Structure 1
Amino acid sequence: MLPAHPIGVFDSGYGGLTVFRSIAKLLPQYDYIYLGDNSRAPYGSRSFKTIHQYTWECVQHLFKMGCPLVILACNTASAKALRTIQQHDLKKHDSSKRVLGVIRPTAEVIGNYSKTKEIGVLGTKGTVQSGSYQIEIGNFFPDVNVYQQACPLWVPLIENGEYDKPGADYFVKQYLDQILAQSPRIDTLLLACTHYPLLEQKIRAYLPADVQAVSQGDIVAQSLVNYLQRHPEMESKLTKNASQKFFTTTDDTADFDHHATLFYCQPVQSTYLPVK
Structure 2
Amino acid sequence: MQGPIGVFDSGYGGLTILRELVKQLPQYDYLYLGDNARAPYGTRSFDTVYHYTLECVKHLFSKGCHLVILACNTASAKALRNIQQLDLPHIAPDRRVLGVIRPTTEVIGTFTDTQHIGIFATAGTVLSESYLVEIKKFFPDIHVVQEACPMWVPLIENGEFDSDGADYFVKKHVEHLLAQSPDIDAILLGCTHYPLLIKKIRQFLPASIRIINQAEIVAHSLTDYLQRHPELEAKCSKNGERTFYTTDSTEAFDRQSAVFFGQEVKSLHQDLGSPIK
TM-score range (shorter-chain normalised) is over 0.9
Match of 2:245 in 1: 247
Contact preservation (8 Å) 1:18, 1:194:
yes
CA distance in 1, matches of 2:183, 2:196: 26
Q: Does 1:153 align with 2:133?
A: no
CA distance in 2, matches of 1:184, 1:161: 31
Contact preservation (8 Å) 1:204, 1:212:
no
2:207 to 206, 209, 213: 209
For 1:263, the aligned partner's letter is: F
Contact preservation (8 Å) 1:261, 1:268:
yes
Match of 2:141 in 1: 143
Match of 2:271 in 1: 274
1:221 to 219, 222, 226: 219
Match of 1:35 in 2: 33
CA distance in 1, matches of 2:112, 2:204: 19
CA distance in 2, matches of 1:79, 1:128: 9
Contact preservation (8 Å) 1:9, 1:34:
yes
CA distance in 1, matches of 2:238, 2:55: 26
| 1:19-34 map, 5 Å | 19-34=17-32
> Number of aligned pairs?
273
Match of 2:180 in 1: 182
Spell out, residue by residue over 1:16-71, the C-alpha distance to the aligned partner (whole angstroms, 9 max, x if none): 00000000110000011000000000000100000000000000000000000000
Q: Give % identity.
A: 60
Regions of 4+ moved over 6 Å = none
CA distance in 2, matches of 1:164, 1:225: 32
CA distance in 1, matches of 2:60, 2:171: 38
Contact preservation (8 Å) 2:117, 2:184:
yes
Cα distance, 1:4 vs structure 2: 4.5
Cα distance, 1:215 vs structure 2: 2.3
Cα distance, 1:205 vs structure 2: 1.1
CA distance in 2, matches of 1:109, 1:4: 31
Structure 2: any 5+ residue segments left out of the alignment?
A: none
Match of 1:163 in 2: 161
Contact preservation (8 Å) 1:192, 1:215:
no
Contact preservation (8 Å) 2:189, 2:212:
yes
For 1:273, the aligned partner's letter is: Q
Spell out, residue by residue over 1:234-257, the C-alpha distance to the aligned partner (whole angstroms, 9 max, x if none): 00111100000000000x101100
Contact preservation (8 Å) 2:74, 2:125:
yes
CA distance in 2, matches of 1:212, 1:94: 40
Contact preservation (8 Å) 1:69, 1:98:
yes
1:260 to 257, 261, 266: 257
For 1:94, the aligned partner's letter is: A
TM-score by length of 1: 0.98
Q: Does 1:74 align with 2:72?
A: yes
For 1:265, the aligned partner's letter is: G
CA distance in 1, matches of 2:185, 2:2: 45
2:191 to 190, 193, 199: 193
For 1:180, the aligned partner's letter is: L
CA distance in 2, matches of 1:118, 1:164: 28
Contact preservation (8 Å) 2:2, 2:235:
no
For 1:106, the aligned partner's letter is: T
Structure 1: any 5+ residue segments left out of the alignment?
A: none
CA distance in 2, matches of 1:97, 1:259: 31
For 1:258, the aligned partner's letter is: R
Contact preservation (8 Å) 2:29, 2:240:
yes
CA distance in 1, matches of 2:147, 2:55: 29
For 1:87, the aligned partner's letter is: Q
